[in-house]
């Protein structure tokens, strides 16, 4: 067994432990946020963690109505022109918490009086030390270079914080179901291995989603790039219709990630359009109508909350990336030219 595969399969236990361990910390931060009442939020991250930040943007704006942006770290470190951050929430998301540009954003935010939170897998890290508050992934050491369990832990921590802050009962009550949903995604392993075998000679692909699931598409495309060296592109299903769909030709591999909800009708229409263009379409979904509209459907149980479905959707994508790398004869644990910790300034 490869390390990456083992770490992917650790995720239900990691997420279950996280919910029990970090709930009180999330409640403490939520109380502080209700007192502080930030006017907007800024998220700062790189790489895989940047995709977790995109997920957090959807959560924050939909459940707290707080305008949320992604930081541009070079404005702080290279141009010396940071934006005004007073009376804001600034959240740094990082596996290692070591990259100097992320730390610089956090330090500047704190200097300006922003409320700062670090979401990290390494508690004793510069990013954690620079923040007012910390939420700990507790995913353990990731020996595989491609991040998996730390990413889903970041997703769940951000969802936990938003649930506590917003007081949304539906989101809060759905959180304990996430580990089981991830277990259901892991059960698709054999079918994903078959799909990887079918797609092992592909030269490019598209990963499509909308709404909360968009961040999962970004992360799955990244995992395919990291482990199989393929130019997999992630798009919002809506954006894809505004130009990129022109590249679709017969047999073009397209992966759709979707949970039943407001985005379902649009994703089904997109699937039908792709079928008309004879794309090789695959969907990971609980939506029966979408499953009927694609060439291959890998079905999941209906999620307890659409907002939490991207956690299990991304796990299915992690498995696909893993099996694709193996099918192509690559080492999924040590992608060429990559290191576990990347330092940017």
Q: How many residues can be counted in the chain? A: 345
Whether the per-residue pLDDT at 335 is higher than 90: the answer is no
Any idea which residue has 């008309």 for tokens? Answer: 276
Q: What is the pLDDT of residue 339?
A: 66
Confidence class of residue 1 from pLDDT cuts 50, 70 and 90? confident
Confidence class of residue 341 from pLDDT cuts 50, 70 and 90? low
Q: Which residues of 102-124 are buried (b: 16+ CB within 10 A; e: fewer)?
A: bbbbbbbbbebebbbbbbbbbee
Q: Which of 204, 207, 210, 230 is nearest to 219 (CA)?
A: 207
Catalytic residue among 81, 111, 149, 340: 340
Q: What is the pLDDT of residue 336?
A: 76
Q: How far apart are the C-alpha atoms of 141 and 64, rounded to whole Å?
A: 33
Kindly report, residue by residue over 5-39, the tens digit of the pLDDT: 999 999 999 999 999 999 999 999 999 999 999 99
Provide the percentage of residues in the chain whose pLDDT is more than 70: 98
Kindly report, residue by residue over 213-226, the tens digit of the pLDDT: 999 999 999 999 99
- Tell me the average pLDDT of the chain: 96
Confidence class of residue 94 from pLDDT cuts 50, 70 and 90? very high
For the question of residue 57 being annotated catalytic, the response is no
Q: Which of 345, 285, 273 is nearest to 313 (CA)?
A: 285
Q: What is the pLDDT of residue 288?
A: 96
Confidence class of residue 340 from pLDDT cuts 50, 70 and 90? low
Kindly report, residue by residue over 153-186, the tens digit of the pLDDT: 999 999 999 999 999 999 999 999 999 999 999 9
Whether the per-residue pLDDT at 343 is higher than 90: the answer is no
- What structural domains does the chain harbor? 3-167 (3.40.50.10490), 180-327 (3.40.50.10490)
Q: What is the pLDDT of residue 99?
A: 93
Helix axes 309-327 and 189-199, enclosed angle (nearest 10):
50
Q: List the structure tokens of 94.
A: 């990082």
């Amino acid at each position: 067994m490869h390390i990456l595969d083992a770490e992917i399969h650790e995720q239900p236990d990691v997420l279950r432990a996280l919910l029990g361990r970090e709930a009180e910390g999330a409640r403490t931060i939520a109380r502080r946020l209700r007192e502080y009442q930030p006017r907007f939020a800024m998220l700062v991250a790189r790489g895989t963690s940047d995709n977790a930040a995109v997920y957090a943007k959807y959560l924050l704006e939909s459940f707290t109505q707080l305008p949320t942006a992604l930081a541009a770290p070079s404005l702080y470190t290279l141009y010396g022109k940071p934006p005004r951050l007073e009376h804001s929430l600034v959240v740094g998301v990082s596996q290692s918490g070591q990259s100097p540009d992320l730390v610089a954003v956090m330090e500047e935010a704190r200097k300006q009086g922003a409320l700062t939170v670090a979401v990290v897998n390494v508690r004793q890290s510069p990013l954690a030390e620079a923040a007012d508050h910390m939420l700990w992934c507790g995913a353990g050491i990731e020996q595989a270079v491609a991040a998996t369990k730390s990413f889903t832990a970041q997703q769940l921590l951000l969802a936990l914080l938003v649930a506590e802050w917003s007081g949304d009962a539906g989101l809060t009550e759905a959180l304990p179901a996430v580990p089981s949903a991830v277990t259901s995604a892991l059960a698709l392993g054999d079918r994903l291995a078959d799909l990887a075998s079918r797609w092992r000679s592909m030269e490019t692909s598209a990963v499509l989603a909308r709404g909360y699931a968009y961040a999962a598409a970004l992360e799955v495309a990244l995992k395919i790039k990291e482990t199989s060296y393929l130019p997999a592109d992630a798009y919002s299903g809506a954006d894809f219709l505004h130009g990129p769909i022109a590249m679709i030709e017969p047999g073009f591999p397209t992966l759709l990630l979707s949970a039943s909800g407001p985005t379902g009708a649009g994703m089904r229409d997109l699937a039908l359009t792709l079928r008309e263009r004879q794309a090789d379409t695959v969907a990971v979904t609980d939506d029966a109508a979408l499953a009927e509209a694609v060439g291959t459907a890998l079905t999941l149980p209906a999620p307890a909350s659409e907002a939490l479905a991207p956690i299990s959707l991304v796990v299915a994508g992690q498995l696909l990336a893993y099996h694709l790398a193996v099918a192509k004869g690559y080492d999924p644990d040590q992608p060429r030219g990559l290191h576990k910790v990347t330092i940017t300034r």
